[in-house]
């Protein structure tokens, strides 16, 4: 009897060990799930609490418009210089204008117009809280900007191969200055759009908060608008 009693107690103890282990594992899993739920809840509360401040948005818009006004003055001065030199030497400007590749210019015009459309669609999407659509539109805009720069690189390569360098004459000096400065602005826009894409991927924007996207969109529309003036000025008005 003693031996049997001792054997039964040993079996009971060994059977208790797995149950205790499973209980511990279950409690750990429950704690992990609870912790994850708390974190998600904290993130949701933080995102929900982040609302668009109308005063801050208007201030930001005023700031970007002031910046764009200085950019208009910069490009306006270059447009004026181009017009003055063209009036002084119309024959030379006409003969050099014929050397430009209007197909490249037209392709880049279409590319930038499409990029403005994707930016506008992205802003409209995030106003409705569609974060995935915003990310897609930002990616498409960056790709289109890269295509624009690729076409411009091919165009520059063509001119350089023919010996048409910035110091060739006043026409090409102004051509490289205008298109080069615009290309720098395109690069700046790509950097800003890439930052917006990273933030969008982290879920920082919502229907309640998307101020940075709106401001970046304004800048990108300005970059496109400058090219809309450059294209006819350089490529069409002979």
Same domain, 100 and 197: yes
For 116-144, b where at least 16 C-beta lie within 10 A, e where not — what string?
A: bebbebbbebbeeebbeebbbbbbbbbeb
Same domain, 218 and 128: yes
Q: What is the CATH number of the domain that holds 93?
A: 1.20.120.80
Same domain, 35 and 126: no
Q: What is the DSSP letter of 51?
A: -
pLDDT of residue 34: 40
Mean pLDDT value across the chain: 82
Domain span holding position 27: 1-49
pLDDT of residue 3: 47
Question: What whole-number distance in Å separates Cα of residue 35 and Cα of residue 23?
Answer: 18
pLDDT of residue 62: 84
**Residue 21 — pLDDT band, cuts 50, 70, 90?**
very low
The predicted-structure confidence for 123-170, as pLDDT tens digits, reads as follows 999 999 999 999 999 999 999 999 999 999 999 999 999 999 998 888
Same domain, 86 and 131: yes
Cβ contact 173:166 at 8 Å: yes
Model confidence at 38: pLDDT above 90: no
Q: How many Cβ atoms are within 10 Å of 54's Cβ, its own excluded?
A: 8
- Residue tagged 């039964």 (tokens): 8
pLDDT of residue 58: 75
The predicted-structure confidence for 55-111, as pLDDT tens digits, reads as follows 776 777 788 889 889 999 999 999 999 999 999 999 999 999 999 999 999 999 999
Domain count, the chain: 2
Question: What whole-number distance in Å separates Cα of residue 42 and Cα of residue 46?
Answer: 6
- How far does Cα 114 stand from its chain's mean position? 14
Same domain, 42 and 114: no
Same domain, 62 and 126: yes
User: What does pTM read for this prediction?
Assistant: 0.75
């Amino acid at each position: 009897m003693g031996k049997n009693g001792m054997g039964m107690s040993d079996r009971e103890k060994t059977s208790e060990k797995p149950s205790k282990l499973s209980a511990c594992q279950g409690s750990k899993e429950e704690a992990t799930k609870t912790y994850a739920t708390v974190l998600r809840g904290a993130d949701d509360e933080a995102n929900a609490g982040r609302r668009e401040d109308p005063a801050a948005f208007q201030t930001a818009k005023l700031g970007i418009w002031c910046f764009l006004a200085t950019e208009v003055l910069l490009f306006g001065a270059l447009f004026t210089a181009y017009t003055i030199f063209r009036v002084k030497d119309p024959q030379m400007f006409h003969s050099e204008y014929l050397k430009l590749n209007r197909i490249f210019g037209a392709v880049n015009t279409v590319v930038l117009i499409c990029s403005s459309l994707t930016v506008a669609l992205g802003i409209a999407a995030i106003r409705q809280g569609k974060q995935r659509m915003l990310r897609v539109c930002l990616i498409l805009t960056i790709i289109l900007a890269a295509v624009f720069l690729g076409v411009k690189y091919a165009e520059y390569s063509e001119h350089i191969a023919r010996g048409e360098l910035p110091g060739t004459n006043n026409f090409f000096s102004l051509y490289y200055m205008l298109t080069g400065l615009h290309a720098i602005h395109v690069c700046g826009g790509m950097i800003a759009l890439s930052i917006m894409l990273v933030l969008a991927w982290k879920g920082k924007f919502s229907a309640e908060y998307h101020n940075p996207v709106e401001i970046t969109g304004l800048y990108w529309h300005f970059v496109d608008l400058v090219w809309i003036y450059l294209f006819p000025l350089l490529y069409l008005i002979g």
